[in-house]
Amino acid sequence: MTSVLSSLSIWFSGIPNGLRPYRWWVLSAALALTIFMAMGLSRFAMDVTMDSWFQEDDPVLQSLDEFRAQFGSDDGLYIVYEAKDGDVFSEASLRLVDQLTRRLKNWQDLDEATLAELGITTEEIDFLSHIKRVQSLTNVRIQVNEGDSLTSPRLV
């Protein structure tokens, strides 16, 4: 294995000296190839959706299609909050965000009075059952390197 790697190393190290007499041809070919590729760049398209990675009859793709048919999409929902005092990091704002985060995360523990206060009917409570994860300023964690230790404290 070492002799093969040594032979390859010697061969590759000789390429620049071997191409030196033809450097203008190599440079012209590289430039022409770059221009040719750049002309096709506007028509280049890449499909990186989940659908492109699976065959049509794949059970995973069929489950994803059923999920989309039932819920409309597989995207997330974002709630954007604008603080009344203009500072999302103020104590009052963070307290409100934390309260909302806890209520959404523990929706099944909400009593009838809280649901009425929030304006949520018992029919609408079923929509909350689709919540898989709730992430906000008050529960997100960051990675901090302290000496030889890596800790994960909350952001706020």
- Based on the fold, state whether residues 33 and 58 are members of the same structural domain: no
- Based on the fold, state whether residues 36 and 62 are members of the same structural domain: no
Q: How confident is the prediction for the chain on average, in pLDDT?
A: 89
Total domains in the fold of the chain: 3
| 84: in domain | no
| 85: in domain | no
Read off the pLDDT of residues 121-156 as tens digits, 9 standing for 90 and up: 877 888 888 788 899 999 999 999 988 999 999 888
Beta carbons within 8 Å of 131's beta carbon, 6+ residues apart: 104, 105, 107
Buried b (16+ CB within 10 A) or exposed e, 13-44: eeeeeeeeeeeeeeeeeeeeeeeeeeeeeeee
- Based on the fold, state whether residues 106 and 147 are members of the same structural domain: yes
- Based on the fold, state whether residues 122 and 144 are members of the same structural domain: yes
Give the domain extent around 113: 91-151
Q: Is the pTM of this model over 0.75?
A: no
- Based on the fold, state whether residues 68 and 116 are members of the same structural domain: no
- Based on the fold, state whether residues 106 and 135 are members of the same structural domain: yes
User: Per-residue pLDDT averaged across 29-41, rounded?
Assistant: 96
- Based on the fold, state whether residues 127 and 99 are members of the same structural domain: yes
- Based on the fold, state whether residues 33 and 52 are members of the same structural domain: no
- Based on the fold, state whether residues 118 and 105 are members of the same structural domain: yes
Asked whether the predicted pLDDT for residue 43 surpasses 80, the reply is: yes
| 119: in domain | yes
